[in-house]
Structure 1
């Protein structure tokens, strides 16, 4: 039977005569105890997860929380905890229930259907405002899982720089929407993705940016008036003259003066009339590179220090080996390169054609996406892909091109979650390790304790796959 089923990528026929005691909860003979144990542990772990998330969100507001803030935070934690723990409860419940109704397990009822049904009830508990975010996340992971499943069956093969291509195409489309202002015509106008784009590529590229013309004209008026005074003797004299006797201060002040003069010269370089930004195109490009490179470097250094805090405390000498590595600059090179390339290509196109157009974001975004090779990440690439799909769908609804499908977000969430649970039970090596650790934690290790031997009949090497995952993720098949 194993040889027959292994020929198919997703066999849907054939049953196994095992019981839920042998497969679902081999640590207890009672379905009620198995379901209750999982539910109780899921509640405590969900409280830990969402308690941390909501408290951090509250602290990031940067102000003393009011009574309403605290009330919303507590209610939010309880509601999200009920949602997440309800998924675990429903999954275990439907596993046993379907076994009793059908009299056996099949390829769908061993994980896919119970996960789908439990997700249907659980997602309705969560706030509607959070459902889209949850859907994007699980769809992201499910897409990667499906690709890994196809890859393991030799149905596809990995493409070099495939994640970079996905990221570049997705960002090109998002940046075109950003420049054209399409997102303002849909419910995506408050989407945080466009806030990220505004921060990375600058606000001047957004359609109808209100302050761009006034800032540009005021600078050039100031430029025409103040050029004779820059670097004059009057600037170098006065209150600073007495302090310049200090050699160190004198060197620093001279260096700052030279720096300001160079920056001023760069700002005064040519700026095409079609460009919406103030100052010169050269300064605009350099500003994007410098700003995002600094931010990327700061993030990377901070993460390295936080993750290696114990080593640094044990011996400060480890600081050098932790920070002075090539990969420390990867995130900075990606962010700085992306912003700089995007701005530079746009300015070149505007100079060449003599006008600005939202369509210029396509070639600019594709070229800027090459910087992703410095910091490739499949999760980020797939997130951008799904974000493009979401916003394009909303635009299609707004323009009357596609109909609004009620409950589509909830259905996609349930379907994606079912795929992830199916992979976690039948072929966990195709699941993202971080998601396996999440399932292992939220179930108190029970997902690893479920007996995989009856599932080996489908020829997917399930038991061996579980052993490899446990070793890879350093998790154990032990109840917590």
Structure 2
């Protein structure tokens, strides 16, 4: 009799507290679309947050690109119809797609890595940053791609120095920000003077005009530099 009561009591407990293994687990797709990981701090689901970021920045980038293009066009010419034709093209759309995809792809990759690796560390951030660089494929402007590369290079170098300083891997001078600025300035000057084809046209013109050199003079300097370098 006592055994029967115990069995019935255990059965009632099982009904009230079912085994967790019997509860159907959500798939990754369901969790991504309608939920978020325990590491995510955003308010909405991972999918909704990524989509919201893309739409918001896409519309902002499109508005800024079209607005600036229209204003600059009016300053150059009084022909409004010609200005409108020049502004309404695929270039603002590609630029806006790049602006929206850059952070959206980063968030997508970061949430996926958090789900599969079940941890939130700097490796996730590094992989997500590499993945989001594919957003540059949405923009067909070589100059904007080059600017992005230089920006990412400078920020990556800054992050590397900060990591060395915070982990005390090697001694870092107290004025390392000034040292970083000197290094990046010299690197950019080297690229302008000796690898101008890898520098955005506007940045190249700004660098050469600032020192008083013209295009032909820069080519002559390049020839002399190469000639000296080839001598034994």
Q: Same fold (TM over 0.5)?
A: yes
- SS of residue paired to 1:345: helix
Is 1:396 matched up with 2:164? yes
Tell me how far apart the structure 1 counterparts of residues 133 and 167 of structure 2 sit (CA, whole Å): 29
Give the TM-score taking structure 1 as reference length.
Answer: 0.33
Deviations 1:69-110 (A, max 9, x none): xxxxxxxxxxxxxxxxxxxxxxxxxxxxxxxxxxxxxxxxxx
Give the deviation of 1:396 after TM superposition. Answer: 1.0
Give the TM-score taking structure 2 as reference length.
Answer: 0.62
| Corresponding position of 1:371 | 135
For the Cα contact (< 8 Å) 2:189–2:207, is it kept in 1? no
Is 1:277 matched up with 2:46? no
Tell me how far apart the structure 2 counterparts of residues 454 and 352 of structure 1 sit (CA, whole Å): 56
Give the deviation of 1:381 after TM superposition. Answer: 1.0
| Corresponding position of 2:126 | 362
Deviations 1:160-201 (A, max 9, x none): xxxxxxxxxxxxxxxxxxxxxxxxxxxxxxxxxxxxxxxxxx
Give the deviation of 1:334 after TM superposition. Answer: 0.9
For the Cα contact (< 8 Å) 2:66–2:88, is it kept in 1? no
Which structure carries more relative contact order (alpha carbon 8 Å, separation 6+)?
1
Give the deviation of 1:451 after TM superposition. Answer: 7.8
| Corresponding position of 1:238 | none
| Corresponding position of 2:78 | 314
Give the deviation of 1:282 after TM superposition. Answer: 2.6
Give the deviation of 1:386 after TM superposition. Answer: 1.9
For the Cα contact (< 8 Å) 2:54–2:101, is it kept in 1? yes
Tell me how far apart the structure 2 counterparts of residues 354 and 418 of structure 1 sit (CA, whole Å): 40
Give the deviation of 1:327 after TM superposition. Answer: 1.2
For the Cα contact (< 8 Å) 2:158–2:180, is it kept in 1? no
| Corresponding position of 1:349 | 113
| Corresponding position of 1:323 | 87
For the Cα contact (< 8 Å) 2:62–2:96, is it kept in 1? yes
Report how many residues are paired: 188
| Corresponding position of 1:224 | none
Distance 1:384 1:319, change over 3 A: same
Paired residue for 1:287, among 8, 27, 52? 52
RMSD of equivalent CA atoms? 4.0
For the Cα contact (< 8 Å) 1:334–1:374, is it kept in 2? yes
For the Cα contact (< 8 Å) 2:53–2:100, is it kept in 1? yes
For the Cα contact (< 8 Å) 1:393–1:402, is it kept in 2? no
Paired residue for 1:438, among 185, 206, 230? 206
For the Cα contact (< 8 Å) 2:109–2:128, is it kept in 1? yes
Distance 1:429 1:348, change over 3 A: closer
Give the deviation of 1:340 after TM superposition. Answer: 2.2
Distance 1:395 1:350, change over 3 A: closer
| Corresponding position of 2:6 | none
- Structure number with higher helix proportion: 2
Paired residue for 2:96, among 332, 341, 344? 332
Deviations 1:374-393 (A, max 9, x none): 23521221221122112221
Is 1:296 matched up with 2:79? no
Give the deviation of 1:281 after TM superposition. Answer: 2.5
Give the deviation of 1:363 after TM superposition. Answer: 3.0
Tell me how far apart the structure 1 counterparts of residues 126 and 95 of structure 2 sit (CA, whole Å): 23
Deviations 1:39-65 (A, max 9, x none): xxxxxxxxxxxxxxxxxxxxxxxxxxx
| Corresponding position of 1:420 | 189
Deviations 1:330-388 (A, max 9, x none): 12111212222222233333444555444322332222221111235212212211221
Tell me how far apart the structure 2 counterparts of residues 307 and 289 of structure 1 sit (CA, whole Å): 27
